[in-house]
Structures are given as structure tokens and as C-alpha cells.
């Protein structure tokens, strides 16, 4: 009989493609992952991967094992959920996945109060734009900017994030407040050219005309900081920009469709005490809507 626990090492290597990435995903060293995978192969009497220069590739035996390994994983996760669902104690770890912007700007500033109220709960924050798999237990709760469609999830709309074009007071003082007729004389900060930011980039690109692109980034926080530092005009979340006294909303009209923050949790966990505490906390901190400041009237460009 092989060690069932070794199945998770097999699945991690299959999903990540090599030992380095698999060890990072498992939070173990690569030597341990390689040893446990070798142990599984020895116990099964079959080579599960071909070790190639491009990574680990499933053999015929590995392909036969894969669906069974995934079923073992699902049953193990389901069992853990069933047991944790019986837990009524406000203690333990809750893994929360959210984008960097949501974590740093909306959640982290309130964690001191959360800790005071729930000293027995430890939050494990996973800052990523990647869509984690709640069914596989990659996180307990996920905040996403696209509505989750997977089965077995309890989904709730938390917040709409309006977007607007902002520049720093220093930038406007140097280059003037932008107007639709003089955008060629201004600098813009865009998000990285990825699917996550396609909507915002398409809107800004359509409206900036011959304006110069000064920077791109996949970090909303870095775009906010660069704009506040005077680098250029950026499409920013109104809820964030309106709280930064260095920034002013430009009179350039229009904006992309607001982003919606969706909360997702596996239905087997939704009534667990520690999960319920975090869900209630998120519902409180993500409904704050500061009143927008009026557009500052500064000197026009030119």
C-alpha cells in the first residue's frame, strides 16, 4: 500500500511542471518534494514522470494515476471541510485570497481591529491576481473582480469600484489640468498589458490620443504611488484616490464600467465560526464609500 499523502506531491509536480515551482506551492524544499515523489514511484513500481529539459511530463502510468489522485485529493479536502464545519470556535487560520490593491488599501488597514476582536484567528493573506481554486483548498475565502462560476461556492457581491482619471497636484501645477484637446502634451500611466487589466487599458488607450505612456505596471498600488509622485495621469479606483490628498481627479469625462468585488467561499465552510467572522469583517470594511472631492479648478494646460 502506498502512502496516500504522497499523492499531493505528485499533483503539485503535475500542476507546476517542475520541482522548484511545486516546492514553492507546497511551501517545502525541492529536495523533500523530489524524495516524496520518488518514494511514490517506488511504492507503485512505475515511473510517473519523464524528466525533460522543459520540465516534468507525465508518463502513461502518470496519466492513469492522475484522475484517481485528483479524486483522492477531493475526498481529503471534503473530509477536512466536513470536520472544520463542525468547529464553532473562533480560532484557527483562515486563508484569504485577494488582489494586492484590495489587500493593501481596503483590508490591511483594519486588521488591528480585527485582531482585537478575534485574537484566536490568524489571517493568511494571499495577494494575487490569479484565480485560486477554492474546491482544491488553495484558499478558504476569495475576493475576485470577476464573478466566480464554479459549483459549490457561496458568492456575494461586496463592492463596486468606480474608476477615474487622476493626476497629482504637482503634475497639474507643472503641466496644467488636461483637457480632451491637449492630451498629446500629457503623460499617462497604464496597467500591464494582461487580461486582468484589458478593460481599463482599452478605455484609456482609446481616449489618450497621442499622449505619452510613461509607465506600465501590474500593481495597482504602484500605479497609485507613481501618479501621486507626479509621473503622469492614471486610471485609479476612486475609493483609493479620493483618500490621497496628493491626487486630484481630472475633468476628463467618462470612465470604464466599475469593477465589482465578488466574495466567494466554499459552501461547506460558510457556517464555520472563524470563516463567518472573516466574512462579517469583510462585509464591514468593504462597504466604506468616502464622499468624492470635487474636481479641483487649477490653471489650464498651456
User: pLDDT per position in the chain (302 positions), as tens?
Assistant: 567 778 888 898 998 988 889 888 888 888 998 899 988 888 888 899 998 888 899 999 989 899 888 888 777 776 666 665 545 678 899 999 999 889 988 899 999 999 999 999 999 999 888 888 887 788 999 998 888 888 789 999 998 989 999 999 999 999 999 887 788 889 999 999 888 888 888 888 887 777 889 999 989 999 999 999 999 999 999 989 998 999 999 988 778 889 899 999 988 888 889 999 999 999 988 864 544 444 444 344 44
φ, ψ at 242 (rounded to 5°): -70, -15
Distance CA 38, CA 50 (A): 12
Distance CA 66, CA 51 (A): 17
* H/E element, 211: none
Candidates 3.40.50.2030, 3.30.200.20, 3.40.190.10, 3.40.1190.20; correct CATH number of 92-157+264-285? 3.40.190.10
Distance CA 76, CA 216 (A): 42
Fold agreement (92-157+264-285, 163-249)? yes
Q: Which residues make Cβ contacts (< 8 Å) with residue 47, sequence separation at least 6?
A: 41, 59, 61, 62
Compute CA 34 distance to the chain's CA centroid, rounded to the nearest angstrom.
29
Distance CA 98, CA 159 (A): 13
Segments making up each domain of the chain, as ranges: 4-85, 92-157+264-285, 163-249
What would the CATH number be for the domain defined by 163-249? 3.40.190.290
- pTM for the predicted model, two decimal places: 0.67
142: its cell numbers: 476569495
Q: Which residues make Cβ contacts (< 8 Å) with residue 136, sequence separation at least 6?
A: 73, 74, 77
Candidates 1.10.3130.10, 1.10.10.10, 3.90.1200.10, 2.60.40.420; correct CATH number of 4-85? 1.10.10.10
Nearest Cα neighbor of 163 from 232, 236, 93, 221 is 236
Amino acid at each position: 500500500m502506498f502512502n496516500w499523502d504522497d499523492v499531493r506531491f505528485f499533483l503539485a509536480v503535475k500542476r507546476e511542471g517542475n520541482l522548484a515551482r511545486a516546492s514553492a506551492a507546497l511551501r517545502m524544499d525541492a529536495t523533500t518534494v523530489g524524495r516524496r515523489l520518488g518514494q511514490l514511484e517506488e511504492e507503485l513500481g512505475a515511473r510517473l514522470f519523464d524528466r525533460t529539459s522543459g520540465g516534468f511530463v507525465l508518463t502513461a502510468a502518470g496519466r492513469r494515476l492522475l484522475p484517481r489522485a485528483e479524486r483522492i485529493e477531493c475526498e481529503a479536502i471534503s473530509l477536512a471541510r466536513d470536520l472544520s464545519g463542525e468547529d464553532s470556535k473562533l480560532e484557527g487560520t483562515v486563508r484569504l485570497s485577494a488582489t494586492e490593491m484590495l489587500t493593501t488599501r481596503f483590508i490591511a488597514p483594519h486588521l488591528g481591529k480585527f485582531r482585537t476582536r478575534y485574537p484566536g484567528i490568524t489571517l493568511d493573506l494571499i495577494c494575487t491576481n490569479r484565480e485560486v481554486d477554492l474546491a482544491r483548498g488553495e484558499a478558504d475565502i476569495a475576493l475576485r473582480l470577476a464573478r466566480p462560476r464554479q459549483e459549490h461556492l457561496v458568492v456575494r457581491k461586496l463592492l463596486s469600484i468606480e474608476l477615474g482619471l487622476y493626476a497629482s497636484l504637482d503634475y497639474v501645477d507643472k503641466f496644467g489640468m488636461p483637457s480632451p484637446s491637449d492630451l498629446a502634451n500629457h503623460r499617462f500611466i497604464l496597467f500591464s498589458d494582461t487580461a486582468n487589466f484589458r478593460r481599463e487599458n482599452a478605455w484609456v488607450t482609446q481616449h489618450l490620443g497621442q499622449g505619452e505612456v510613461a509607465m506600465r505596471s501590474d500593481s495597482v498600488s504602484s500605479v497609485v504611488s507613481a501618479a501621486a509622485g507626479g509621473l503622469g495621469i492614471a486610471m485609479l479606483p476612486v475609493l483609493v484616490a479620493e483618500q490621497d490628498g496628493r491626487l486630484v481627479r481630472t475633468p476628463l469625462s467618462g470612465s470604464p464600467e466599475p469593477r465589482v468585488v465578488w466574495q466567494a467561499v466554499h459552501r461547506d465552510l460558510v457556517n464555520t465560526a472563524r470563516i463567518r467572522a472573516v466574512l462579517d469583517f469583510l462585509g464591514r470594511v468593504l462597504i466604506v464609500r468616502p464622499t468624492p472631492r470635487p474636481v479641483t479648478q487649477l490653471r489650464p494646460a498651456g
